[in-house]
Amino acid sequence: MALLKILQYPDERLHTVADRVSEVTDETRALVQDMAETMYAAPGIGLAATQVDVHQRVIVVDISNTHSQLHVLINPEITARSGESDCEEGCLSVPGIFGKVQRAERITVEAWDRDGRPFVLDADGLLAVCIQHEMDHLVGKVFVEYWSQMKQSRIRTRLKKQMRR
């Protein structure tokens, strides 16, 4: 197991569109394990492979306080969405920045598990929001990009100053 380096916004690699996983291998399972360990250590509740500079459609999510409900979604696709949620979000790639993003309140997602078996997950509330947030990373979108250009510019400036310190 290894802790992976999490890319920090505005790193351009965060805008890379992830490739579909053609087959779940031991390497894929090792990536999932390393991503989960990295997410828990950060600490966070979700992590996309894109955030650790691996451009494959893999996400891990665990919204439990006990780190006991790890969801592994490989090649996730949202097949249904309903309702609206204005949830305060943060991101391991944008440390210290929080803000509201409008997302679906409920989703149905189809994916593969860590063994390559297909499954369907119905999610709502925080789990639904977190999955949508992580899936954005897979298409090269960071949550702050839902906000105005002016606000994004201020965030980039603030994060660059933090990196120089």
pLDDT in tens, the chain (165 residues): 799 999 999 899 999 999 999 999 999 999 999 999 999 999 999 999 999 999 999 999 999 999 999 999 999 999 999 999 999 999 999 999 999 999 999 999 999 999 999 999 999 999 999 999 999 999 999 999 999 999 988 988 888 787 787
Q: For 62-76, what is each residue's pLDDT tens digit?
A: 999 999 999 999 999
Q: Which amino acid is residue 100, in one-letter code?
A: K
Residue 2 placed within a domain:
no
| pLDDT for res 90 | 97
Residue 110 placed within a domain:
yes
Residue 123 placed within a domain:
yes
Residue 159 placed within a domain:
yes
Which candidate in 12, 23, 77, 134 is catalytic?
Answer: 134
Helices and strands per DSSP (H, E), number in the chain: 3, 7
Residue 93 placed within a domain:
yes
Alpha-carbon gap, residue 57 to 148, rounded angstroms: 27
Count Cβ atoms below 10 Å from residue 53 Cβ, excluding itself.
14
Domain count, the chain: 1
Q: Are 2 and 31 in contact (CB under 8 A)?
A: no
| pLDDT for res 161 | 82
| pLDDT for res 7 | 97
> For residue 144, what is the domain's CATH number?
3.90.45.10
Alpha-carbon gap, residue 32 to 29, rounded angstroms: 5
Residue 134 appears among annotated catalytic residues: yes
Q: Record the tokens describing residue 131, joined without a space.
A: 């999955």
Residue 3 placed within a domain:
no
| pLDDT for res 157 | 87
Global confidence as pTM: 0.95
| pLDDT for res 120 | 98
Q: Which amino acid is residue 60, in one-letter code?
A: V
